Amino acid sequence: MSHPSSFLDRHAALVFSIRTFAAAMLAFSIALWLGMPRPYWAMATVYITSNRLSGATWSKAAYRMLGTLIGAAGTIALIPNLVNAPELLSLAIALWVGFCLYLSLIDGTPRSYMFMLAGYTVALLGFPVLSTPELTFDLVSARVQEIMLGIVCASTVSMLVLPRSVASAIAKQADAWLGEARQLGADVLTGRGSDDKRDDERIRLAAVASEIDQLCRHLDYETNTSTTITRGLQRLRQHMLALLPLLASIEDQRHDLDAHQALTRHIAEISAKAARWLAAEGDDDREADALRFMLDGVQPPIDAAAGWTEIMTAGFVIHIRQLIDVAQDCRVLSAAIAEGRDPDALLLAFTADAMSPAMLHRDHGLALWTAAATALSVLACCAVWIATGWTDGASAPIYAAVVGSLFAGVDEPLPTFRKLYRAFLVVIAVNGIYTFGLLPRITTLELVVAALMPTFVLFGWMAARRATAGIGSLLVTFTAVQLALESSYAADFASFANANVALMVGVGLTGVVLSIVRPFGAEWIANRLLRSNWSTLAEIAESRRPLDRVAIASLMQHRLALLASRIAVVPAAARRDIANLRQLRAALSVNELRKASLGRPAAAAVNELLVRLAMACRVHIGARLPDQLLAQLDNTITSALRERVSEGWNETLYSLAGIRTGLFPGAAPYRPDEPGQGRVAA
């Protein structure tokens, strides 16, 4: 399906910025009309909540509302009871922020925003009311009302004014992704391009697929998207998850066949035809059927005396057929989504067992350590505030909680916080110009709107662009908060200076604490991701029943997406394994083994192999897997060949071959007469 670029698509960032500014001014105006004490909170909330896509705005609004209410309840519970013990109160708030941040980091879905917000809302609402604890409920209630007003305005304007559908965005991104995957498939089938180039493309596609997965999580919040389209997009996502490991398997098998000069001219010609069919978007069903017929004709027979060449050739042919099936299914699903047809009524070659949600990588240890580091930064700012007796210093732990939560997941805290420091200097300069240069001369709301528009439209435009999203979001949100517009002009330089010094102290201390407590860096985190893949492979090998293959694929490809931004620090020896999805392919093959019904000798051999495989994966530290495991794998292949009358015999054999090519690339070929004599490649 094609998606012509419209004016609104080409200028989506500018449209978003103008629309969001209008929503912010609407919220600010209503807050003034209702006499709310801090109307700028309604304005800032619009920017915090808004997203270019209406469904994402609604999901963010829902979770912001819940997070605000939880944080407000926490504030009301903590402040009146601990206000006379500032040290204990500081500890309680820091622990609350850390605990909520931990939940946010391990959740990884749009719901994580609720946990993070519940954490820093206690600091945001609690510290400003310390001087009047008896008014805690009233002041917290006022802040909640202002925030709710901003949420309502952001959501309503997003839905009514030039809304952009999440479903439409997913369909466009998926269409582009599939086009690039088809081109990669054509390159793999013909051997075109270098291995490194194809590896880089696979990693990039995995990262983009992860972004599409995240967008899919917002579909349930979109009121103008039918359930039919939602189901179609979810099925398309499952097919996308199948493509990358399939292409990696085909590439490895082609390499092996080429290395042993075993790729017959006929199969090479069929591969070239399949590549042309893929490059032409796979829209010719008759050509697909003809390719399947030709593949059936070159499928080699497998018997007990079959050698590695026959097994690899058979697997190569089967995988090309599966690639044709999945690619054709993707085209059919894309057309059905564009036309609004029910995906359940489609005849698809590839079907998953269930419409399972994507699984995400969760690192509990790293999340706990990161949350503790953020809590410690809040405590450090509280210590400065209490030790100095600086009244405005209570704002420093607020910024520590907010900025620490927002940027807790960065690999290198110190360089990131240096950039943040420069951004906050821009915020201070802009607010200084407005506070002392422009606002004293403005007497009407209309002039306020006109004065704010250039700056906020620029910052909002930056927030909507991928290249400047992080810095733009920070600039527009903190400018709105620090400007602190109210119903009348009331500013003095001493208050302005104190507030901004507290801001810089909070941000600076947070950066220092995080860089000291969390000095791991991208390489350390990348190594943890690599070890997690081996642990998952061990868990699947230990499992006595087959697991959801879509869940396995989504989990391990999510790790690949997380590694994409850190690939430069991954050792060269491991980079090829990562890009070729070796652990994922082995995991899927192990999972298929669990489905097979085998005779007693072969079943015993498979179980013994998987026990040893799990043990090897548990202790794997990046070196080659043991030669003994390869020998046992070859013995198991021999056992499977001798049991070719068993139900699921073919699947068992190809699964064992998949484990061999995935975990032992470059090993000498399997030989039925001398099993296990191959050496493992480094």
Q: What is the Cα–Cα distance from 580 to 665, expressed in whole angstroms?
A: 10
d(CA 149, CA 84): 33
Residue 118 has a pLDDT of 95
How much is the mean pLDDT over the chain?
Answer: 86
| pLDDT, tens digit (0-9, with 9 covering 90-100), for 212-244 | 888 888 777 776 666 788 788 888 888 888 899
> In the numeric block, which tokens belong to residue 191?
């051997």
Long-range CB contacts (within 8 A, 24+) of 133-140: 133/79, 133/80, 133/83, 134/80, 136/75, 136/76, 136/79, 136/80, 137/76, 140/72, 140/75, 140/76
Q: What whole-number distance in Å separates Cα of residue 659 and Cα of residue 670? A: 12
> Tokens at residue 232, please?
């179609």
- 228 versus 674: the higher-pLDDT residue is 228
pLDDT of residue 108: 84
pLDDT for residue 311 = 86
Predicted local confidence at residue 99, as pLDDT = 97
Q: Does the structure show a pLDDT above 60 at 614? A: yes
CA angle 16, 3, 461 (to 5 degrees): 15
CA distance 25 to 47: 11
> Among residues 232, 168, 219, 227, which one has the least CA distance to residue 59?
219
Beta carbons within 10 angstroms of residue 24's beta carbon = 28
Buried b (16+ CB within 10 A) or exposed e, 254-291: bbbbeeeebbeeebbebbeebbebbbebbeeeebbeeb
Is the Cβ–Cβ distance between 343 and 228 less than 8 Å?
yes
Q: Among residues 187, 154, 181, which one has the least CA distance to residue 20?
A: 154
- Spatial CB neighbours of 277, under 8 Å, sequence gap ≥ 6: 284, 287, 288, 291, 324
Q: Which of 482, 280, 296 is nearest to 399 (CA)?
A: 482
Rounded Cα gap, residues 66 and 58, in angstroms: 12
- For residue 485 the two structure tokens come to 């517009």
**In whole angstroms, what is the distance from residue 600 CA to residue 86 CA?**
69
CA angle, residues 573, 576, 580, in degrees to nearest 5? 150
Whole-number pLDDT of residue 640: 82
The number of C-alpha atoms within 13 Å of 291 and in the hemisphere containing its C-beta is 28
163's tokens = 């809304």
Length of the chain: 682
Q: Is the separation of the CB atoms in 308 and 142 below 8 Å?
A: no
**CA–CA separation, 546 vs 505, rounded Å?**
54
Q: Which two tokens stand for residue 248?
A: 């990696």
Place of tokens 């269409």: 175
Q: How far is CA 609 from each of CA 21, 538, 551, rounded to the nearest angstrom? A: 62, 12, 23
Residue 124 near residue 376 (C-beta atoms within 8 A): no
Tell me the pLDDT tens digit for each residue of 291-334: 999 988 888 887 777 788 888 888 899 999 999 999 998 888 88
| Token digits of residue 412 | 């290198």
Highest mean pLDDT among 43-47, 282-286, 623-627: 43-47
Name every residue whose Cβ is closer than 8 Å to that of residue 46 and which is 6 or more positions away in sequence: 20, 23, 24, 27, 150, 153, 154
With a threshold of 0.85, does the pTM exceed it? yes
Residue 546, SS3?
Answer: coil
Task: Give me the percent of the chain exceeding a pLDDT of 70.
Answer: 94
- Contact by Cβ (8 Å): 313, 257: yes
pLDDT digits (tens, 9 = 90+) for 15-24: 999 999 999 9
Rounded CA-CA distance 614/598 in Å is: 20
Element (H, E) at 582: helix 582-593
By the 8 A CB rule, do 681 and 664 touch? yes
Task: Report pLDDT digits (tens) over 392-449.
Answer: 888 999 999 999 999 888 888 888 888 888 999 999 999 999 999 999 988 899 999 9
CA distance 125 to 60: 20
Q: Using 50, 70 and 90 to split pLDDT, how confident is the model at 568? A: confident
Least confident interval from 86-90, 183-187, 308-312: 308-312
**The pLDDT of residue 283 is above 70:** no
Residue 390's alpha-carbon distances to 114, 498, 502, in angstroms, are 32, 9, 10
Judged on CB neighbours under 10 Å (0-12, 13-18, 19+), 635 is: middle
User: What's the pLDDT tens digit per position in 104-135?
Assistant: 999 988 889 999 999 999 999 999 888 888 88
pLDDT at 678: 38
**Out of 338-342, 376-380, 439-443, which region has the weakest mean confidence (pLDDT)?**
338-342
pLDDT > 70? residue 2:
no
**Best CATH choice for the domain 166-345 from the list 1.10.472, 1.20.120, 3.30.460, 1.10.10:** 1.20.120
Tell me the domain boundaries of the chain: 7-164+363-519, 166-345, 522-663
Q: Does residue 389 come out as left (phi exceeding 0), alpha (psi in the -120 to 50 range) or beta?
A: left
Is residue 355 pLDDT above 70, yes or no? no
Which residue, 267, 245, 269, is CA-closest to 185?
245
Q: In this structure, what token pair is assigned to residue 160?
A: 């009514």
CA distance 104 to 441: 44
Based on the number of CB atoms within 10 Å of its own CB, is 673 exposed (0-12), middle (13-18) or buried (19 or more)? exposed
What's the confidence (pLDDT) of residue 396? 93
pLDDT at 384 over 90: yes
**The pair of three-digit structure tokens given for residue 305, joined into one six-digit string:** 């005396």
State the pLDDT confidence band at 505, using cuts at 50, 70 and 90. Answer: very high
pLDDT higher than 50, residue 677: no
Contact 566/579 with Cβ under 8 angstroms? no
Locate 546 and state its tokens. Answer: 């087959």
Q: State residue 622 phi and psi, 5-degree precision.
A: 110, -15
At residue 364, does pLDDT exceed 50?
yes
521 backbone φψ class: left, alpha, beta (φ>0; ψ -120 to 50) = left
48, 52, 154, 155, 162 from 56: Cα distances, Å: 12, 8, 11, 10, 14
